Amino acid sequence: MGIIALGAIAVLVVLGFGNHLWWLVAGALYLFLSRPSKSEEEGGAGTARPTTYQAYRARRDRQARWERRYRRERARRWI
């Protein structure tokens, strides 16, 4: 979550001692902020395993091409 979100939840919990409705608001805010976002569900970092062998091969080939290109560029830099 974040410092601001946790602070807001803490303030709502403290306010809840006077009015219990604030505890419900704090709980709803916590549940809203703790669920994963759409990008996290889709594997935003790309670390999830491919679902098919073809997807695995495509990713492996892309990575190999990138590494070869990077190696060539690094080699040219020192010439």
52-76: pLDDT as tens digits: 999 999 999 999 999 988 887 777 7
Range of the domain at 73: 3-36+52-77
> In the chain, what are the helix, strand and coil shares in percent, each to the nearest 5?
70, 0, 30
Question: With the CA atoms of 12, 9, 7 and 1 taken in that order, what torsion angle do they form, in degrees rounded to the nearest 10?
Answer: -170
User: For residues 17 and 37, which has the higher predicted lDDT (pLDDT)?
Assistant: 17
Tell me how crowded residue 78 is: count the other CB atoms within 10 A of its CB. Answer: 5
The answer to the question of residue 43 being in a domain is no
Count of domains forming the chain:
1
Q: What is the DSSP letter of 5?
A: H
The answer to the question of residue 67 being in a domain is yes
pLDDT of 47: 62
